[in-house]
Amino acid sequence: MSFFISDALAQAAPQQGAGWEALLFPILLIGVFYFLMIRPQTKRAKEHKQLVEALKKGDEVVTGGGILGRITEVGENFVQLEVAEGVQLKVQKNAVASLMPKGTAKGDL
């Protein structure tokens, strides 16, 4: 009977020398998260920041809410959009989602 107990104690003993191998999976997981999630998100944020800084009068843009308009005035934090003849909207610069090619809103405005 005592030979069963000694075998059980030997199996429960912690293994020596597996310290760096235990850290390999979390380090690999962090690397995968960085390349698949964090890096693309920071790249998109950098591109959006450059887009917002480059806005100028006459650009045709689409806001995050889907409003298409032509910029008539650019302020420090806001831009004024002409969405129809005589209809002006003031929106935050960060609300601008994308820059459209010239002439996109020609028939709409």
What is the structure's pLDDT at 2?
53
- Are 46 and 61 in a shared domain? no
- Retrieve residue 21's tokens: 């191998």
Measured CA to CA, the distance from residue 93 to residue 78 in angstroms comes to: 5
In this prediction, residue 39 carries a pLDDT of: 94
Could you list the residue range(s) of the whole structural domain that residue 81 is in? 56-100
What's the CA angle centered on 24, arms 23 and 28, to 5 degrees?
Answer: 120
In a domain, 2, yes or no: no
Would you put residue 62 in left (φ > 0), alpha (ψ -120 to 50) or beta? beta
pTM of the model: 0.69
* Residue ranges in the chain whose pLDDT is less than 70: 1-18, 107-109
Is residue 60 located within the same domain as residue 96? yes
Q: Average pLDDT, whole number, for the chain?
A: 86
User: Is 13 inside a domain boundary?
Assistant: no
Report yes or no on 65 lying in a domain.
yes
